[in-house]
Structure 1
Amino acid sequence: MTNTAQAPPKVAPQTLGFLLLENFTLISLASAIEPLRMANQLAGRELYRWYTLSLDGSAVSASDGMKVTPDASTTVPLALDSIIVCGGVAPHRSVQREHVNWLQAQARRSRRLGSICTGSWALARAGLLDGYEASVHWECLAAMQEAFPKVALSTRLFSIDHDRATSSGGTAPLDMMLTLIGRDHGRELSAGISEMFIYDRVRGEQDQQRVPLKHVLGTTQPRLLEIVALMEANLEEPISLDELADYVNVSRRQLERLFQKNLSCSPSRYYLKLRLTRARQLLKQTPMSIIEVASACGFVSTPHFSKCYREYFGIPPRDERLSSSAVELVPPVRLGEEAASMLQTASAFEAVPDEPVSGALSALDQARGEPTYASVRLRS
């Protein structure tokens, strides 16, 4: 009888280009690339391939002074699926006309575009974020709002809006990439990567950057900054609005006007938001009971806390706690026939002649001796 079994299809890996701007932040670049490397390792085959790029292929300085020599210049015609702009310090100075022209050309080729840290500035300057929701490091938020009013800037850690994926800085790119990997290849793989990086909680699209209020208001409202500092220091036992007004020597009515003018909400609403935000952190990051969380955030009863929480976040505290539970990982599998097939598939992908070699394959080859190699079964 003829054996009709077929080898798994050789699906080409997704290829990403990381465009390095001068003074990019190294932690953000690593946070974006390392999940791709680990995805390949856990899958046992090349799911992702990546290249670092600069305009002329010469070394680019990170914000900490380290120089990174990219894999290629932007003149090399790579078959990229996505481009991620890596920004950092003073993007308004590091973005050049050549960057803008190249990004616009990539958009015309229908390539997916993204950014990390302050890389959104380059996409916005190229007109490629008009009408899109986008995230950027909070330090650049006010300047971008002023310079690019057509961009729907968000204070979220990251934003995924159709074919645009933009992230703030630090470790936020890790959360964005884990979310994208989970969408591409399933929750088990994303959870496996988290486990390998000892990353206790993957933050989602709804998680916000903590933007310092003094950065939003500047130094023009010292009384308001003082009141908010008092609120933040007294979440468990909230201070009455009359007491807050007395602390800074204003009337209750002046206090109300101060909040409405600068924060577009009442002081009581702002105080409630601080307490609920703190409650959300405790629900997601600690084993405290809902009763304990309610008490720690100044709510006199659990039903009242649950009502306020549901009204503000659209989900009751109990469901929030359940959604934050750790995902069980798929147990490792032995390197049998399936893993061997994966190895053959990975080996089949070789660099196209005259193209720079991605570090993905060499990293994958080195990972073959790791106990986690091919330990996650991908969804079909």
Structure 2
Amino acid sequence: MGQVVSTPETVGFLLVPRFSMIAFTAALEPLRLANHISGRQLYRWVLLSPEGGAGEASCGLRIAVDSAMDAAPSLPTLIVCSGVDGHWYDDRRVLSWLRRRAAEGVELGSVCTASHILARAGLLNGYRCTIHWENLAGFAETYPEIEATGELFNIDRNRFTCAGGTAAMDMMLYRIASTHGEKLAVSIAEQLLHDKIRQGSVRQHVAIQPNPGIDREELAAAVKLMQENIEEPLDLLALSAQLGQSRRNVERLFRKFMNCSPARYYLGLRLQRARQLLCQTKMSVMEVAISCGFVSATHFSKCYRDYFGVAPRNDQSSHRVRHLIEPVRQMAGVK
């Protein structure tokens, strides 16, 4: 049952440069449809940007905003929308503004990579949160004191975070159901052709099943076990024993469905995790190597170069240079 609400709830959306358009619209559209289906104005929304200019999404589209954040009206709820390179976003004025809103009792949310921004502002200490699976490892390394769950969305007291993409839709539908009833939330989901409202506790599917070709329970279990043992990799005998399978059967499954050996697939998972850490954290190459189960930087560098075609240090440097240059290029109108 929902609560009886007589006045519309106003939700602010702070659009950080290069925010994810799909996560933003997935959070906003359920509010619009709540008004449309109910025939009442249950929600209002205010779009903000740090400086007041149009917010530019990662896809290049620009969204007109209502005001700069400093001129924003009083808001009971504020959602920070981020996207590409949100893990590097460190605008001190924005972080200070968010801390002031939190001190005023504003309920704070995030979509996609914006959990990084709330964490950098010190606003997720003591809270459970989540973030997109691609950023989860980097977030955990950067903020080891914060519990990051890897679930679709988390609502913990006056903080709510989601993984981005369509997870933002599930989170907002959950919030609408809590306030205005499940019947309205279901009607909204039907309008969106969203056949099932997922609970926040659902694990991000890609984190467990990284390849859409995995449709066998035994293979999915093997991949999940590999992902859970990146820092201290299991050898094939230990992996097979934990799965309750013979070594030969595990090898057969990977050869048949993944077209490679279990060891090769496992190495790929570790190297992909390594690339996330190199590009999303300030960890050194040696620290990343150890975190991903390599006993030496030399061996790690060789495997990385063979897999990605570039040395880890060069890959890390080029990513950080792109992070610094891309905003300048966009401001100058260079495509």
- TM-score, normalising length from structure 2? 0.63
What's 1:267 paired with? 243
Deviation string for 1:108-127 (max 9, x for gaps)?
00110100011111100011
Does 2:80 align with 1:99? no
What's 1:111 paired with? 106
What's 1:255 paired with? 236
Q: Distance in 2 between matches of 1:12 and 1:126?
A: 31
Describe the shift of the 1:205–1:259 C-alpha distance in structure 2 as closer, same or farther (beyond 3 A): farther
| Displacement after TM superposition at 1:77 (Å) | 4.2
Q: Distance in 2 between matches of 1:31 and 1:102?
A: 25
Deviation string for 1:128-182 (max 9, x for gaps)?
1112111111111111111111211011111111111101111110000000000
Q: Which amino acid aligns with 2:243?
A: P
Describe the shift of the 1:14–1:238 C-alpha distance in structure 2 as closer, same or farther (beyond 3 A): closer
| Displacement after TM superposition at 1:85 (Å) | 0.6
Contact preservation (8 Å) 2:87, 2:113: no
1:198 to 178, 193, 210: 193
Q: Distance in 2 between matches of 1:234 and 1:168?
A: 26
| Displacement after TM superposition at 1:207 (Å) | 1.2
Q: Which amino acid aligns with 1:200?
A: D
| Displacement after TM superposition at 1:258 (Å) | 5.4
What's 2:31 paired with? 36
- Where structure 2 has 5 or more consecutive residues not aligned to the other structure, the ranges are 223-233, 246-335
Within a 5 Å distance, the mapping from 1:85-164 to structure 2 comes to 85-164=80-159
Q: Distance in 1 between matches of 2:112 and 2:219?
A: 35
Q: Distance in 2 between matches of 1:42 and 1:159?
A: 26
3-state SS, counterpart of residue 18 of structure 1: strand
3-state SS, counterpart of residue 84 of structure 1: strand
Q: Distance in 2 between matches of 1:181 and 1:135?
A: 20
Does 2:166 align with 1:171? yes
Contact preservation (8 Å) 2:16, 2:50: no
2:183 to 188, 195, 198: 188
What's 2:65 paired with? 70
Q: Distance in 1 between matches of 2:216 and 2:50?
A: 51
Q: Which amino acid aligns with 1:255?
A: L
Contact preservation (8 Å) 1:156, 1:207: yes
Describe the shift of the 1:208–1:94 C-alpha distance in structure 2 as closer, same or farther (beyond 3 A): same
| Displacement after TM superposition at 1:199 (Å) | 1.3
3-state SS, counterpart of residue 70 of structure 2: coil
What's 1:290 paired with? none
Structure with more contact order per residue of length (Cα contacts < 8 Å, sep ≥ 6): 1
Q: Distance in 2 between matches of 1:238 and 1:138?
A: 20
| Displacement after TM superposition at 1:103 (Å) | 0.7
Q: Which amino acid aligns with 1:201?
A: K
Describe the shift of the 1:142–1:13 C-alpha distance in structure 2 as closer, same or farther (beyond 3 A): same
| Displacement after TM superposition at 1:232 (Å) | 4.0
Within a 5 Å distance, the mapping from 1:1-380 to structure 2 comes to 11-212=6-207, 232=214, 234-235=216-217, 254-257=235-238, 266-268=242-244
Q: Highest CA radius of gyration, 1 or 2?
A: 1
Task: Tell me how many residue pairs correspond in the alignment.
Answer: 229
Contact preservation (8 Å) 2:111, 2:164: yes
Q: Distance in 1 between matches of 2:110 and 2:56?
A: 18
- Where structure 1 has 5 or more consecutive residues not aligned to the other structure, the ranges are 1-8, 216-228, 242-252, 261-265, 270-380
Contact preservation (8 Å) 1:53, 1:70: yes
| Displacement after TM superposition at 1:211 (Å) | 3.6
Contact preservation (8 Å) 1:99, 1:122: no
| Displacement after TM superposition at 1:214 (Å) | 10
Q: Distance in 2 between matches of 1:210 and 1:10?
A: 35
Describe the shift of the 1:30–1:183 C-alpha distance in structure 2 as closer, same or farther (beyond 3 A): same
Q: Distance in 2 between matches of 1:128 and 1:103?
A: 8
- Percentage of pairs with the same residue: 39
Q: Distance in 1 between matches of 2:38 and 2:5?
A: 14
Q: Distance in 2 between matches of 1:213 and 1:192?
A: 30
Describe the shift of the 1:233–1:198 C-alpha distance in structure 2 as closer, same or farther (beyond 3 A): closer
Deviation string for 1:12-43 (max 9, x for gaps)?
21111111111111011110000000101111
